Structure 1
Amino acid sequence: MAASDNVVRAGLTPKFKDVDTLVAMLTYSCAPIEAQKMRPAEYPYATLNRAAYSSGSAVVLYDPPIEEFSVVRTLLRGDGAKATFEPLAGPSIVICTAGRGKIAVGPTARDVRAGYVFFVGATAELVLTSEGGEDDEFITFRAFCEVEDHSNGVQH
């Protein structure tokens, strides 16, 4: 949920709780599970190197029907697989959930392992490179804000 002063609380806090208002605000819509699942889509703003492409590495986008953020999952297989991401107009956060590798944001490079989290500033190029054996998988998730460029109406 995006930060806001307009919060209606129903528990888990010592602050004022307004359960009746919260329940009145909820919308219930039923649908089969398959209809509610988010489908990943190809993320066209990343380029895989030859090692990544030939190893079956992938970069996919999870774009929920909300404006606050989207998530890109990167799976790099084997040593030396690399994904280069075009700069985004807004900030992002990268978390590594498996494997190890390197992250480069502009001229700065750092080691990455599962549990590491990095902030990537707006307009910075991001490069992820896997390290490890042939069967190792380097998995990261990047949450980012889509920022609209009002000068030309383009979203990034």
Structure 2
Amino acid sequence: MFRLIPRVQHYDWGSYDALPRLTGRAPGDRPEAELWFGAHESAPSGVPAAGGHTDLAVLYQANPKALVGADAVRVFDGRFPFMLKVLAPTKSLSIQCHPSREQAQDATDGTYVDTWPKPEGLVAITPFETFVGMRDYADIVSLVAGLEVPELSAIVEWASGQDEPSVALLEALLTLDLPVRNALVRSVIGAIADREDDPAFPAIRRVAEDFPGDIGLVVLLTMNHLTAMPGDYVFVPAGCLHAYQHGVAVEIMANSDNVIRAGLTPKAINIPELLRIVRPDSAPIRRSEPPGRVRDYGVDTDYFHLYAVGPGPEATLIPGAGPRIVLSLQDSTTVTSGPTSLELSSGDAAFLAPGEDVTVAGSGTLFVATAG
């Protein structure tokens, strides 16, 4: 058992104060979007060491079997299986999609940074707003009919006659000529300007303040709007279109950074690859907070499994038997393994080796990430 030092990611969609407040630090002069806990090569967590410090990726590369166990090394082909994050968006992330393992392996060279999938799940710490998954096509047809935007209705009607209407609709929207696209976005934003009858409408208006004229605003109409309440869990499988909006959440994912974008971003949009990997029927899984002090959010993928242990003055055993990253939030916890104890303040984390029996007590909540 040893401490982990998170890596802060300063993306422009992040909050200036949410993560510092959660972790007991003064806000800085740059937004903090994510805290990373894991061994991803682009931002591995630091590890205090005698005479300096190292990081989790270096330790893993030196002796992977000792760190995660022989079974995990074999199953995950020598790659550290999962990564834990804390997210704090204040404006929309890009509309995006992640490939399956097979899709990442079959992609054209240079499409992805690695050959791994990126399924992900999150637990809301505050109310967490997102667009996730595509609406049923019949719902899209009904929604668009109510907007009375003739140019959008024509596209939706055309797509309905194609083999995969939702994919055809995405392709049609994303490949519009620029003048036509700009006019369509203006018409759609005008049509929803005073409407509150669908929760997506006010959310899209807020996004339009940051991304005026972006065709992603129309793509959001095709997606499900969802607000996860504190303690709720949302799993996002491969091929599921999504765009996180705002709030604070703990996120767990496979150890990959493979992303294909579909709007609301200045970064490149790879339309052919998006259309290849998107699965309109790939729906999110949402669960309410499980009961009990030790809460199991379920297994939806082989890559990760997430638990939480609520506050309590008496020590209780931390769940899981494989390699684990544990993160204390919303107050302090004490984790104990044999004669060794670590005091974890909110935002502090530790790594537990496979088979290590560790207990936790304290007034904070401990999130426990492990392989599936």
Q: TM-score, normalised by structure 2?
A: 0.28
Deviations 1:34-83 (A, max 9, x none): x83135557xxxxxxxxxxxxxx610101241111111111023xx3221
More displaced stretch, 99-108 vs 137-146: 99-108
SS of residue paired to 1:21: helix
Please report how far the alpha carbon of residue 6 of structure 1 lies from its aligned counterpart in structure 2 after TM superposition. Answer: 2.1
Task: Give distance in 1, aligned partners of 2:300 and 2:288.
Answer: 11
For the 8 Å contact 2:333–2:366, the answer to whether it is kept is: no
Unpaired runs of 5+ in structure 2? 1-80, 84-112, 117-257
Match of 2:277 among 22, 25, 28: 25
Task: Give distance in 2, aligned partners of 1:71 and 1:122.
Answer: 15
Partner of 1:84: 317
Partner of 1:125: 357
1:139 maps to 2:370: no
Q: TM-score, normalised by structure 1?
A: 0.61
Task: Give distance in 1, aligned partners of 2:319 and 2:293.
Answer: 16
- Higher strand residue share: 1
- Higher helix residue share: 2
Task: Give distance in 1, aligned partners of 2:311 and 2:352.
Answer: 19
For the 8 Å contact 1:103–1:126, the answer to whether it is kept is: yes
CA-based RMSD: 3.4
Unpaired runs of 5+ in structure 1? 43-56, 131-136, 147-156
SS of residue paired to 1:125: coil
Task: Give matches, 1:1-156, under 5 Å.
Answer: 5-6=114-115, 9-10=259-260, 18-29=270-281, 36-39=285-288, 58-77=293-312, 80-85=313-318, 88=321, 90-130=322-362, 137-146=363-372
For the 8 Å contact 2:328–2:367, the answer to whether it is kept is: yes
Judged with a 3 Å threshold, the aligned counterparts in structure 2 of structure 1 residues 113 and 23 are, in CA distance, closer, same or farther, namely same
- How many residues get paired? 119
SS of residue paired to 2:342: strand
Judged with a 3 Å threshold, the aligned counterparts in structure 2 of structure 1 residues 140 and 85 are, in CA distance, closer, same or farther, namely closer
Judged with a 3 Å threshold, the aligned counterparts in structure 2 of structure 1 residues 20 and 9 are, in CA distance, closer, same or farther, namely farther
